[in-house]
Structure 1
Amino acid sequence: MAFDLVQYFAEQIESQKPMLLSHLDREEKRSHIRQINALTLGELINQLRSNGEKVYQEISNPDELYIQEVSRHLTTNPSNASTLSRTELEQLTTEVFHLQLLELKQLHDTGSHSLQSIRELLNGQIEHLSGQADDWVWSTNNLTELLGSKPNLQEDISLEASMKEFNQMVHQQNAQHDDNNVAVEATVPTWSKVVEPVVAIAILWILYSAATNMFA
């Protein structure tokens, strides 16, 4: 099972962008953010399917113009049925997508990821996205296989648990990277095992001689 980016991004948005939609009550705010979080992540997955190299380039080096283009495309899509005003919707979409790309870049840089591993990670988010948003989201980002999906009935993962899973994934990725390198281990020469007792006896003899001279 792929690391749950859906939950991880939601928690990062809440902690890093607390002022987003701050005029709304908590539940309404979380509902809008959950929808847009699914919308932009789904769009990234959709684009990955058609042009993986382009998406990989934007993850490894996020571009503001690309972020704005994606946000505007999603905001103006006829299938987008968000109840937010056009201005609020575009601002929220831009902020969320920007944060997602930055977090993915951090993951890419610290975990020594490649196009293939990023592809596997993003494609693995389909199961986590299932049931996380209304059907208009999947129509807008063209993840039509999720239309009619039911909510994933699992307890919310805490930020601490998400970070632990994130760190484990980075550690595993680095371990796999290290395994590809040839490890050269130093071996202890056999003659050293023979010399060790001789050295120990010599040291004891020096200490004995010094003590004898001291009390002579």
Structure 2
Amino acid sequence: MAFDLVQYFVEQIETQKPELLSQYPKQERRAYITELSALTLGKLISEWRLDPKKIYTEINHPDDLYIQEIARHLSTVSSNESKLSRTEQEESLFEIFKLQLLELKQLHDTGNHNLNSIQELLYGQIEHLSGQADDWVWTTNNLLELKGSKPVPQEDISLEATMKEFNQMVSQNTHHQEHDVEEVTVVNAPTWSKIVEPIVAIAILWVLVDAVLKIFA
């Protein structure tokens, strides 16, 4: 497993750049820094995939113009859904991305790394980036294999609440059944109707016989 640069960068940014997004409360600031750090590191990985030699050169000789270009692109692309303003984003992304490149250069120089070992290090960060940000981050930096990796918060449901809901359901169901039984009421025919029925039948039969006799008369 590759060295975890994700949290390392977040800690370095908070230590070396205390003024960055300092207008926000501590927890909110850290959340923004983590989000933007994942955005720039993911972009670095996707850019490496396109042109490893170019990015290797940028790590060894960080160029402010290149850093500014990446920061501006990430802060203005249509898929960006950050709650920070465009100005806040661009300024913060510039500082974060620059720090990441400088830290990678220092790591490269002190560890006697080469292009292949840096590539292995960067590709190993994909596992550490998983779940660290919302899907718009991975869409924006073209690290699409990480979409859907952030766990969806599940609401804790207590046993008491579950039983209460179950009892309400049972109570409502019982009420509906009782209502249905009340509506389906058997109406008994009165006794006098049973006496009249044969008389009515004889009268109808007599009318039919009389009609037939007249036809053949």
Q: TM-score, with normalisation over the residues of structure 1?
A: 0.69
The CA distance in 2 between the partners of 1:48 and 1:81, in whole Å, is 24
The within-5 A match list for 1:40-51 is: 40-51=40-51
Q: Which residue of 2 aligns with 1:148?
A: 148
The CA distance in 1 between the partners of 2:75 and 2:104, in whole Å, is 22
Unmatched runs of 5 consecutive residues or more in structure 2 = 152-217
Q: Which residue of 2 aligns with 1:67?
A: 67
**What is the letter of the counterpart of residue 26 of structure 1?**
K
The within-5 A match list for 1:1-216 is: 1-150=1-150
The CA distance in 2 between the partners of 1:51 and 1:16, in whole Å, is 30
Q: TM-score, with normalisation over the residues of structure 2?
A: 0.69
For 1:61-117, what per-residue CA distance to the aligned partner results, in whole angstroms no more than 9, with x for missing partners?
Answer: 100101001101111111111111111110000000000000000001111111000
**What is the letter of the counterpart of residue 90 of structure 1?**
E
RMSD of aligned alpha carbons: 0.7
- For the residue of structure 2 that corresponds to 1:82, the secondary structure is coil
Seq. identity, %: 67
The CA distance in 2 between the partners of 1:144 and 1:103, in whole Å, is 25
The alpha carbon displacement at 1:39 in A equals: 0.2
The CA distance in 2 between the partners of 1:74 and 1:9, in whole Å, is 18
**What is the letter of the counterpart of residue 113 of structure 1?**
H
Higher normalized contact order (CA 8 Å, seq sep 6+, divided by chain length): 1
The CA distance in 1 between the partners of 2:7 and 2:32, in whole Å, is 14
Aligned residues: 151
The alpha carbon displacement at 1:150 in A equals: 3.2
The alpha carbon displacement at 1:27 in A equals: 1.1
Following TM superposition, the consecutive aligned residue runs of length 4 or more in structure 1 with deviations greater than 4 angstroms are none
**What is the letter of the counterpart of residue 25 of structure 1?**
P
The structure that has the greater radius of gyration is 2
The CA distance in 2 between the partners of 1:5 and 1:143, in whole Å, is 16
The CA distance in 2 between the partners of 1:11 and 1:30, in whole Å, is 9
Unmatched runs of 5 consecutive residues or more in structure 1 = 152-216
